[in-house]
Amino acid sequence: MMSRLSSTDRRLLRGNGAVRVGRWVRGGVVRGLAAVSGWAHVVEVAAGLPRVSVPVTDSSVVWSAGRVVVRHCAGGAGTPVLVVHSLVTRSWVLDLAPGRSLIGALIGGGRDVYLLDWGVPGAAEAGHGFDVYAETLMAAEEAVRRHSGRPEVHLVGYCLGGTLALTVHAALGDGGLASMTAIAPLVDTAAAGRLGGILRSRRLMPVLTLDERGLVPASLVRESFHWLRPVALRTARQTWRRRRNQKWRSVAGPLSRWVWEQTPVPGALLFDLVDYVRGNGLKDGSWTVLGRPARLGSLDVPVLLAVTADDHIVPPSASLALVEGLARPPQVVRCPGGHVAMLTGMTLPRRLSDFLTAVEAGR
């Protein structure tokens, strides 16, 4: 029984009648446990942080597929840049605050910027696994090429968005790409790290994390990130002490709201991610996308790899395995800060801008 619950058998995602009633009860229990463990958010709510407005750059939707949209953020010059957010969480962490925005920095550099926003999954998306996300990414890239009138795009993927970009184009080819930037991608899943450790563990029972809709509840996703780095007590104390510091609140507020407003994760995607981590398939070449093997060595476009030493979610070694896997050595930028903080610093936007400029100058 334990072995079956620890598996990623897709038949566990289906059910009706009594099974659905059981899922409804289980979903309530999961949300209840997540709410209890989220006590530290009470301090943030008391300090008014999650109520702040989020300074998102003006944009217009130019393509959509279900809940997924591509937003055109600015009409600059040159080859368009498509920024691909992680497959979980809300995309506006890439545009967090004035002066702390990766999207804003690209626009400030005169780039034509598009953002792939995965939206908030619902019951209709519960069966969407990795291959569905792969097809969506390819369709979004084509939509950007069509809208911009340019034959190629610069692809910039963050976290699982970077992992998706690498696996898709390693399997399906890199035609239509001018370059690829992978920010903290998960390549070597055997590398030490808490996220990989949890997903690899046979004590993880994926089906028990799902609610009655077949989704991992947003509250469980939110608290899972806290469990990866259990410093809630210290963080809560520091939050209360700084609550009147307006400069600190200008960044902490949007970040707090982003942490609080997580999105659910489709059950099929969770199962695929567990398989991906347990099998370490991208590193050894056994992972497939839409039935085709993902071979990193087949990528033949300029690649920029961004990592940070303080990343507790995807450790640097898990990303740096890309260096050995590519036929053309990537440029590597080591950023200060953690998994999220690297997005709001100055190092990554500057090095990314230099990389894109060099790519276009060399063509």
| CA pair distance 330, 108, nearest whole angstrom | 25
CA triple 36-37-38, angle to 5 deg = 90
- As beta bridge partners, residue 304 has 181, 331
Q: Would you say the C-alpha torsion 273, 279, 285, 289 has a positive or negative sign?
A: negative
Could you read off the pLDDT of 232-268 as tens digits, one per residue?
545 666 665 766 666 766 676 677 777 777 899 999 9
pLDDT tens across the length of the chain (363 residues): 445 557 787 777 765 544 555 565 655 655 665 555 555 566 666 656 666 666 578 899 999 999 999 999 977 788 999 999 999 888 988 988 888 889 999 999 999 999 999 999 999 999 999 999 999 999 999 999 999 999 999 999 999 999 999 999 999 999 999 999 999 999 999 886 667 777 787 777 888 888 888 898 887 887 777 655 555 545 666 665 766 666 766 676 677 777 777 899 999 999 999 999 999 999 988 999 999 999 999 999 999 999 998 888 899 999 999 999 999 999 999 999 888 889 988 899 999 999 999 999 886
Q: Which parts of 38-159 fold into alpha helices (H)?
A: 41-46, 102-108, 130-148
188's CB contacts (< 8 A; 6+ apart) are 280, 283, 317, 318, 319, 320, 321
Q: What is the chain's length?
A: 363
Query: 219-222 — which CB contacts under 8 Å span 24+ positions?
Result: 219/31, 219/34, 219/35, 219/38, 219/262, 220/30, 220/31, 220/33, 220/34, 221/88, 221/89, 221/262, 221/263, 221/264, 221/265, 222/34, 222/38, 222/259, 222/260, 222/262
Domain total for the chain?
1
Beta strands in 267-336 (DSSP E): 288-289, 292-293, 303-308, 331-335
Tokens of 201: 């563990």
C-beta of residue 129 within 8 angstroms of C-beta of residue 269: yes
Q: Which residues span the domain enclosing 266?
A: 2-361
> Looking at residue 352, which CATH number applies to its domain?
3.40.50.1820
State pTM to two decimals. 0.88
